[in-house]
Chain A
């Protein structure tokens, strides 16, 4: 079980968090159908680092963006969500 350092609450057990989706799956309003479908259904699934959206569901409920390694689970960056957290 991962230990995730919430920027608001500090290190907490993974069971307090929920994984929501990858950052590259976010479909902005007004996206063209082709782009929207590519983001939903043909995402990259890198064997390495990826940006993911999580939520501190049973803590401060904040949305978080994690950079997590898909093989080792190592979390190299974690930041509170906001427009600046999105690429």
Chain B
């Protein structure tokens, strides 16, 4: 192609392609505008870097992929045929260097024989090192556009919709179906991927025309129907849920309303698919050259966009579409030099065009940018024509993608049209129009040079590659697809699958339906990641659960730590302290004086009723029944398979009223677990379980002077260790539980969340008066590691038994708890299990998450679950899991972390580093 092909004004919309300033008319696709500007070469092919032009006029385009937009709006791999030009659009070609016209990678095309199907499999079967070496080159040489790196400034939203009838496709069939449904009083939704109604009527005006389409749409609107243009039904899911993507701006275009795209979840009573049919290319040598286009696409450019893609045209087809295109081109002033009809006389005899029957193109010749010559075998002889455009039609393939995605759907083979038609379906869906039946075709002679006869233009797969895969033993169509990459990438084989299937069936000597089909997966056309994320991007990606005392903490500018959806203070640095310094000061304050911290996030359940203890003894693996009123104890819970999954405390607050606490991270899981137990395991019990996690805010006060602080706060006798009392602080009723996690004498004070702030303030004043400080999660971690207390998600990782965690002495001897049966499995008491150990560094600092080895290079026999430094003394300590660890105290190992490049020599010890006699937390 050389020179403009459009009469009249050039248009007023400015855009650039590869930096070249160009003009387009309103309504132009980028493909139409490029053709109008005489640009035929728009892309380089995926594998061989062959020059490629525009083949189609719709979403099926395999060649003309461009990157459009700049910065965060950049969108790679956008079909030039599915992209409407807007003022200021910046588009560029892909997969070429240094330029589209002079692409260094095209030497790969000269070496095409050395790059057959399955090339990578064959070449990189050897060592990983070889692959690493080649990978760098391959990643540069092959491929599509680059993913953008900047954040997208635009918004993507999601909406739900419900209708009686969803019609996909606003062509004549879809509009008629939608109108009929609307007139019958049904709620109708009609979606069309193009930006105009009934584009096929613009291409082929017959007894219906665009004016009819407009009138019909208006009538549907009056009846309450909803019509969305530029909207694609991309996925069809169970129970007639269709995901629909609506473009509110073109790719790369700043959206007027700030929203670039909207994803609809449409639940439809029934679905009518009026998705039309896609034209198939013919396979002959060099059928991928710029200037070789689909017949119907040529007509679209001529009639819809006023662009005539060639002046001397050869048309090749196995069906009557050739004559429609010939007529359109002749009317637009082009010369039809030949119509090559694969069918015998009298096909096309009355058309008035220079028809050659029993004809099939052999090859094309030309330069990088354009077509120069077409040769064909006509009957027994070879003929040549000078031509700058070859329009081809290999028949039509109904768009059955959504029908097949509907699940359990069937296809029926139609021999006359050589295509699959939608058959029955499990869901309430029907296809109409050319999605349901297409015109018959004549014979499609095989190419004489299959190696250069491309069928999958996007992946550079020729019929020769299909033959090669067959010769190498690939029999199933699914294997063929994976070996040759046929039907993959952005077009998902819309124009290629039938040709490959036909070739495979021919090789197998079976009919096409027996060769099988690959799976039709959503989306029908590519969907941007932003659309799937919707509003969940950035900070909206996860909820924030606010502590009742969030503002109180925030005023102290702590370092926050995410914990599930919660944020908890990690440390409260003072005067330029870093995290480690602040945490050490806070932890030392707890060891030497007193500290206080927010423990509100702990899971808390109030279990009450005459049968409360039965429920608790089912859920907890420890005894609960012997607990006196006002007393509490440590407890842990097992899964049904006998492994520990959570731990906490249980308190008897009154005769039939208990408080069960468990880990923060497992709180939601525990709520479901308790609910399940109530509903399915003991529905007969008279017991109620109320989740009071967020009803109470909790403050822990810990340290040698904690008792004095409490005495000052509640003005009565403070409870002894593992006792509970009710009291009042700053006018708010509180519950005081004497329990220690730090190893010091400690109390947990619970107040109703809305009344917690004065309680916190009173506690803080009392703690400060005693020379204490606030402490965060980091200090808490130091303290509990030193004391050897467990953390769910750390030491308790769902793989250890009570025995492995040295909790077995606390098991309820009477059994009856969940997990008792699972614990009986012999494997859970066999040697070779990981067991809880303490580790102290002989030299160096024990890295977090290190593995435990007898020497560097040896297999891991365990791992570090939590590491810290001693609070008052120096030295690095850790808790860990070690195979047969109980029997290995005193052994020297190496804790090594290859990801941190850090190792330390360690000694295995008991998991208690502080107050092993347990004297400090009792009075």
Contact = CB atoms under 8 A, between A and B. Distances in A.
A63 B681 CA distance: 13
Contact of A37 (B240, B672, B825): B825
Interface in A17-73: 20, 26-33, 35-37, 40, 53, 55, 61, 63, 72-73
A63 B265 CA distance: 26
A3 interface: yes
A40 B640 contact: yes
A4 B874 CA distance: 60
Given A3-B239, A40-B641, A33 B818 contact: no
Given A30-B816, A40-B641, A72-B408, A2 B822 contact: no
A32 B821 contact: yes
B675 A63 contact: yes
Interface in B809-847: 816, 818, 821-822, 824-825
B641 A26 contact: no
Nearest to A61: B675
Nearest to A53: B680
Nearest to A39: B640
B825 A33 contact: yes
A81 B679 contact: yes
A82 B679 contact: yes
Given A1-B238, A13-B267, A81-B679, A29 B822 contact: no
B825 A63 contact: no
B426 A72 contact: yes
B680 A36 contact: no
B683 interface: yes
Max chain B C-beta neighbours (<10 A), residue from A29, A53, A55, A63: A29
A27 B825 CA distance: 15
Interface in B670-697: 672, 675-676, 679-684
Interface in B229-285: 237-241, 265, 267
A2 to B, nearest CB: 5
B24 interface: no
B822 to A, nearest CB: 7
Nearest to A71: B408
B896 to A, nearest CB: 35
Nearest to B408: A72
A37 to B, nearest CB: 7
B680 A26 contact: yes
B737 interface: no
B816 A36 contact: no
B796 interface: no
Contacts of B408: 72
Nearest to A20: B676
A87 to B, nearest CB: 12
A18 B407 CA distance: 22
Nearest to A18: B672
Given A2-B238, A27-B821, A86 B641 contact: no
Interface residues of B, number: 29
Contact of B816 (A14, A26, A27, A29): A29
Given A36-B821, A40-B641, A28 B681 contact: yes
A40 B822 contact: yes
B444 to A, nearest CB: 37
Nearest to A36: B821
B512 interface: no
A55 B618 CA distance: 22
Contacts, number: 67
Given A3-B241, A63-B679, A72-B408, A55 B672 contact: yes
A31 B641 CA distance: 12
A86 B506 CA distance: 55
A76 to B, nearest CB: 14
A86 B680 contact: yes
B818 A29 contact: yes
Interface size class of A (residues with CB under 8 A): 20 to 34
Nearest to A41: B641
A37 B679 contact: no
Contacts of A3: 238-241, 267
Interface in B777-836: 816, 818, 821-822, 824-825
Contacts of B818: 27, 29
A83 interface: yes
Nearest to B267: A3
Contacts of A30: 816
A3 to B, nearest CB: 4
Contacts of B824: 33
Given A1-B239, A2-B238, A29 B641 contact: no
Contacts of B240: 3
B679 A31 contact: no
Contacts of A31: 821
Contacts of B821: 27, 31-33, 35-37
Interface in A73-87: 73, 81-83, 86
Nearest to A82: B683
A36 B241 contact: no
A35 to B, nearest CB: 8
A36 B640 contact: yes
A13 B239 CA distance: 10
A18 to B, nearest CB: 8
Contacts of B684: 83
B618 A29 contact: yes
A83 B683 CA distance: 7
Contacts of A63: 675-676, 679-680
Interface string B614-629: 0000100000000000
B914 to A, nearest CB: 39
A14 B239 CA distance: 10
Interface string B392-434: 0000000000000001100000000000000000100000000
Contacts of A26: 680-681
Contacts of B238: 1-3, 14, 73
A27 B640 contact: yes
Nearest to A4: B239
A83 B222 CA distance: 53
Contacts of A72: 407-408, 426
Contacts of A28: 681
A60 B239 CA distance: 22
B184 to A, nearest CB: 22
Contacts of B426: 72
Contacts of A35: 821
Contacts of B265: 1, 13
A27 B681 CA distance: 8
A64 to B, nearest CB: 10
B237 A1 contact: yes
Contacts of B237: 1
B622 to A, nearest CB: 16
A81 B239 contact: no
B679 A29 contact: no
A42 to B, nearest CB: 13
B129 to A, nearest CB: 42
A34 B535 CA distance: 49
A15 to B, nearest CB: 9
A29 B239 CA distance: 38
A81 B680 contact: yes
Contacts of B640: 27, 36, 40
Across the A-B interface, give the 3 residue pairs with the lowest CB-CB distance, nearest first.
A36-B821, A3-B239, A33-B824
Given A63-B679, A82-B679, 7 more contacts: A1-B237, A3-B240, A33-B824, A53-B680, A73-B238, A73-B239, A73-B407
25 contacts: A1-B239, A1-B265, A3-B239, A3-B240, A13-B160, A13-B265, A26-B680, A26-B681, A29-B681, A29-B818, A30-B816, A32-B821, A33-B821, A33-B822, A36-B821, A37-B825, A61-B675, A63-B675, A63-B676, A63-B679, A72-B407, A72-B426, A73-B238, A73-B239, A83-B684
Interface of A: 1-3, 13-14, 20, 26-33, 35-37, 40, 53, 55, 61, 63, 72-73, 81-83, 86
